[in-house]
Structure 1
Amino acid sequence: MPSKTPPAYVEAGGREVRVSSPDRVIYEATERTPEITKVQVCEYFASVGEPMIRAIGDRPTAMERWPDGYREGMRLAVGPQDREGDGFYQKRLPKGAPDWIETVGIKFPSGRSADELCPRESAALVWAAQMGTLTFHPWPVRRPEVDKPDELRLDLDPQPGTTFADAQRVAEVTRELLEELGLRGYPKTSGNRGIHIYVRIRPEYTFEQVRHAAIGLGRELERRDDGVTTKWWKEERGERIFLDFNQNNRDRTIASAWSLRAKSGAPVSTPMTWDHLKSVTDPRDYNIVTVRDYLADGDPWEDMDGESYSLEPLLHLWETLPGGELNFPPDYPKMPGEPPRVQPSKKVAEHWDEQGNRVE
């Protein structure tokens, strides 16, 4: 039998983190990138540790784990009962974690609670990568205020028939709107075809208020660009950029800044200046091989914590623009004022009352 590859050790922030099976192939070679091994993934997270901890430090963070690496056609499990997925979300810290790994207690919409990874140093990122984590999914809160978001997250999600260039156009309209309202947005690539825009906000609002702020902004974007939609049901979105307002709900997260994505070529969700974002022709150019050189010019998000903004201008849009409440995700309890949770093409009006409750 072949001898087992001895572990490697990756230094991060003064700690040495043990990496088992360091030669395991995590990403196969592509035309853009060579084969990427497990130890190279760990070394990547060590190298971006400082800006990444600046972005996600002290935040409850779910781990998107791919223990055997990623291959084209692999699938992320859709829930704890899905045993066929190749990757999965780990929301509770796994047993056996080193005693220096920190956690924070959070509550889910169901009322259940968990102790989730709470990175405070770059070594925690390397440890998670050693556990198969490629993508970190932080909450928009920091301890100890885990019920008061300090980030508004605008997820511009290209629908079928649209392109990254469409997302770039909508991002620029979003930047202009935010500036008109006295707010500053910080963009990043999603690591796929979309764009994420973050606004640092004062931790004075509930998750529901932050979600309403996103809806208000989305409705104003719809007025300014007919290539934008806030329609929750996919059958109504058309070939437009969907502003996914529900990403601002409790326990809804998106890939963090500097995270790898489970896509061929090991793309990275990459923070950018607004001017740099305009120049991008293919977001796949920002990957595990190229991002460290890109970061050598400085972290575009370094000053994000310099100012926190009021949500009142966006909440004013929510209160004044027509449309009312929109649907919550299906795993959420029924929320006040929510429309019926049924596809519009399948809705029979007389089966629902004015509050969106089914009439038996």
Structure 2
Amino acid sequence: MSPKASGSPAVELDVGGRTVRVSNPDRVYFSERGETKLDLVRYYESVGDGIVRALRERPCMLHRFPDGVDGAKVHQKRLPRGAPDWVETVQIFFPRWSRTADELCVTELADVVWAVQMSTVEFHPWNTRRADTERPDEWRIDLDPMPDCDFATVRRVAHVVHEVLDELGVVGYPKTSGGSGLHVYVRIEPRWGFADVRRAALAFAHEVERRVPDLVTTTWWRKDRDPRKLFVDYNQNARDHTIASAYSVRGTPRGVVSTPIRWDEVDDVEPRDLTIATVPARFAELGELHAAIDDVAHSIEPLLEWADRDGVEVPDADEPSA
């Protein structure tokens, strides 16, 4: 995939047989170490199998930074103009605005590289696929520490999450968030709508809170949460709520990556050390840690039974928690 000079500041890359033109390849995107737009492309190429697996067939919102991550961020639902005819989309309806949008639907690595050419740094996919965008096949457990909650607490709660998943016979795939928390993804059967998946996620969060009430909160309103606790954010399973995918770079000057980890790494991982400079070598050594995520899809019926037992009522997803 060596670049070929094009007689301009741009370079042309061969990505899986597709030619992708990258303009302004030397533009600095990450100010801490001076990594460029082309460095970002090279990062995504290095984790190609992983990023494509994380995004494949999913509606995807793009977080674009036309002037690098120290500049303005653009939240892009619609596919940017000028896409090649091989870039695929899926149409999504947004009831709140009574509008539709054709969102990027990644099927190959060239789609990712083209999105980077359009100044995308972060990829935020839905937890559904285009075959049925209203029935999630991914349950997302977001361990979101409040301002005075340290990462040691995140580690402890992650172990409790793992314990509960094991008791359910469910396989969870952890990753760093690229920020201050951790995420755990679970493949589920695409039999339920967003409301049921979110209710199941809240029932699970309540069980984690029950086991470590001194560490965890499920309180909906941010102003009412203990700032020393960790919020298990079940709302990430609501319709049109997205979080950065596995292998997505985050828009920080350091170029931190939301990185898959093993469960036995939870006690030692330092999320800020997982960057576009370090993750490629890690990926080459360990491979794609989420490679088996699609092998088994789990039922959420046990969680819905918990929700019925406990009388779980889920707040309105359109009502902000802060």
TM normalised by structure 2 equals 0.93
Match of 1:242 among 222, 231, 237: 231
Gaps spanning 5+ residues in structure 2: where? 1-6
Based on CA coordinates, which of the two structures has the bigger radius of gyration?
A: 1
| Match runs of 1:135-154 below 5 Å | 135-154=122-141
**Is 1:10–1:43's contact at 8 Å kept on the other side of the alignment?**
no
Q: Which residue of 2 aligns with 1:174?
A: 161
Q: Deviations over 1:32-57 (max 9, x none)?
A: xx210011111111221211111211
Match of 2:20 among 17, 27, 31: 17
Q: Which residue of 2 aligns with 1:275?
A: 264
Matched, 1:105 2:91: yes
Deviation at 1:318, TM superposition (A): 1.4
Q: Which residue of 2 aligns with 1:263?
A: 252
Match of 1:289 among 273, 277, 287: 277
Match of 1:128 among 105, 109, 115: 115
The separation in 1 between residues aligned to 2:244 and 2:13, in whole angstroms, is 23
Q: Deviations over 1:257-310 (max 9, x none)?
A: 100001121000001111122321x20110000001111121110001110000
**Aligned-partner residue type, residue 61 of structure 1:** C
* Matched residue SS, 1:98: coil
Q: Which residue of 1 aligns with 2:152?
A: 165
The separation in 1 between residues aligned to 2:238 and 2:175, in whole angstroms, is 20
**Aligned-partner residue type, residue 77 of structure 2:** K
**Aligned-partner residue type, residue 229 of structure 1:** T
Q: Deviations over 1:63-121 (max 9, x none)?
A: 000110012xx5xxxxxxxxxxx102110112211111100111224242211100100
| Match runs of 1:1-360 below 5 Å | 6-29=9-32, 34-71=33-70, 86-110=72-96, 111-226=98-213, 227-238=215-226, 239-280=228-269, 282-296=270-284, 297-330=286-319
Change (3 A) 1:5 1:24: farther
Deviation at 1:9, TM superposition (A): 2.1
**Is 1:219–1:321's contact at 8 Å kept on the other side of the alignment?**
no
Q: How many aligned positions are there?
A: 312
- Runs of 4+ residues deviating >4 angstroms: none
Q: Percent identity of the aligned residues?
A: 47
* Matched residue SS, 1:242: strand
Deviation at 1:183, TM superposition (A): 0.9
**Is 1:27–1:36's contact at 8 Å kept on the other side of the alignment?**
yes
